[in-house]
Structure 1
């Protein structure tokens, strides 16, 4: 009888282990990860979002809220700060759902539902060059595996090629998590809450620089920091103008971790078109290491 009980226990443990192993494999434990520099996985998009300042682990609630309103829509998370350099409470993100892509029109009823729930509308342009990778999105565990497996690959790729890539986007659709960081027009990927706060910070820095006679150079768009000081680089469009005009002012706590900020200079705008036409191998700008958002979207399924 004891032997029979022991055999049952051993069999049960074996079944549990095999089930766990199968679940992990199905979730993407051994899936190939290919990091590419080239065309983006998305066209220009219009999306709804809620801006959040706080640990990325808590973004899952916003994903759930967004999915509850539009369960069939692709979801998007945009992450602006490196949690290894910026304290969790100061990390900034925008989480929501994609309403339309390319020339498609947004569903007006869905848009009203999102706006009623406090979501805001913004648009991202289509760019010619991005750093991108994808990972299967089959289970909740896929999200955690994707965070831990993909970001180190992105970091290696960007460092090896001395690229300037920011911010980092995660798009959840069609059974995939698509990771993307633009290599051009980065300023257009910063939501109004961040642009307004960065503009105020820039004005304060300019004031102190003028009063103290400082010659420090703060005009490098790509450095070792985790954010961007942005001037108005967004092309004028109805969606962009509406998004800017409707946004209330919001401050932010700055880089308490000591990470440097970036400013988009006039030189960047003047060379924008030329840079977008350069071959992939010619991207030699040194940029910030990508963010390793471990467990960034706990709750996203």
Structure 2
């Protein structure tokens, strides 16, 4: 084999490696992650979504489906469970597209197309304080890198400050992925299907409590987050929802599974951040979120 042929092969290999390395760097490999507590990256939003149970890696199909319907819309993923503590088939998430933000109204044609494709429509309120950061959204590798780059930093920030921040939202805009976890009014960020699931699980536990109390507790600890039935006010703040929601009652209790409890902390935090005693009724009590999405690839 001629020497010039070997030299060309070596040069080609080196160029290929440099191209791959540059592509990965461009995707965000060397990006510095700055986690902050402050204003959210989004205002009040109305979005079309599908709710699923299963491993978080399966959310890609829903992202693609929502993109095909509205390719110009920002996409959103909401993740409710800790995959380090909750088995993959039991993780819950909602994925879809943001139809409008702030006081803008959703486009009627797009709204109809999403609903025809089986998407539900719901609204999240604008809040004042979240844990937030961002990451480049330039290539498909950016989606993979976010697990290694972003969530360890979020995990450390929240754990170090013992914050109550959940659920985790990812907002995909052109060129950027924005991350946020509410520090107040967390119940307003749970879609109706999750509340209905909570009610069914609660009723199932109650039906077994007379015969096996310890068994009911054991089942709870493996199921993820169970939500309180006190969401009347929260649902009232959502201007659009196509999922039927029943009256949820007035209980202030909040059944929590697999997340750390910090008794009394959320109430104090809500007072410090918002100074509004009326808003405390909308807050979800005492849960620590440990960067949960980063636990699953």
| TM-score normalised over the length of structure 2 | 0.81
**Cα shift readout 1:205-250 (whole Å, capped 9, x = no counterpart):** 45655x47979xx9xxxx999424232331514635x445269xxx
Say yes or no: does 1:288 pair with 2:285. no
- 5 Å-filtered alignment, 1:1-301, equals 2-206=2-206, 211=210, 226-233=224-231, 234-237=234-237, 239=239, 242-245=241-244, 260=258, 274-277=271-274, 287-293=288-294
* In structure 1, C-alpha distance between the alignment counterparts of 2:66 and 2:53, rounded to whole Å: 17
Q: CA deviation at 1:2?
A: 1.9
Confirm or deny: 8 A CA contact 1:143 1:295 kept in the other structure: no
Distance 1:38 1:213, change over 3 A: same
Confirm or deny: 8 A CA contact 1:129 1:183 kept in the other structure: yes
Distance 1:246 1:204, change over 3 A: closer
Greater relative CO, 1 or 2 (CA 8 Å, sep 6+): 1
* In structure 2, C-alpha distance between the alignment counterparts of 1:8 and 1:63, rounded to whole Å: 42
Distance 1:159 1:294, change over 3 A: closer
Please give the root-mean-square deviation of Cα atoms over the aligned residues, in Å.
3.1
Q: CA deviation at 1:201?
A: 2.2
Partner of 1:245, secondary structure, is coil
Partner of 2:164, secondary structure, is coil
Distance 1:27 1:261, change over 3 A: closer
| TM-score normalised over the length of structure 1 | 0.80
Distance 1:92 1:214, change over 3 A: closer
Partner of 2:50, secondary structure, is strand
Aligned residues: 270
Distance 1:132 1:48, change over 3 A: same
* In structure 2, C-alpha distance between the alignment counterparts of 1:290 and 1:200, rounded to whole Å: 27
Structure 1 stretches of 5 or more lacking a match? 248-257, 279-284, 297-301
Confirm or deny: 8 A CA contact 1:148 1:294 kept in the other structure: no
Partner of 2:156, secondary structure, is helix
Counterpart residue number, 1:281: none
Distance 1:58 1:202, change over 3 A: same
Q: CA deviation at 1:277?
A: 1.6
**Cα shift readout 1:28-48 (whole Å, capped 9, x = no counterpart):** 000111000111000010000
Counterpart residue number, 2:249: none
Partner of 1:76, secondary structure, is strand
**Cα shift readout 1:139-194 (whole Å, capped 9, x = no counterpart):** 00011111211000000000000001111110000310011111111111111111
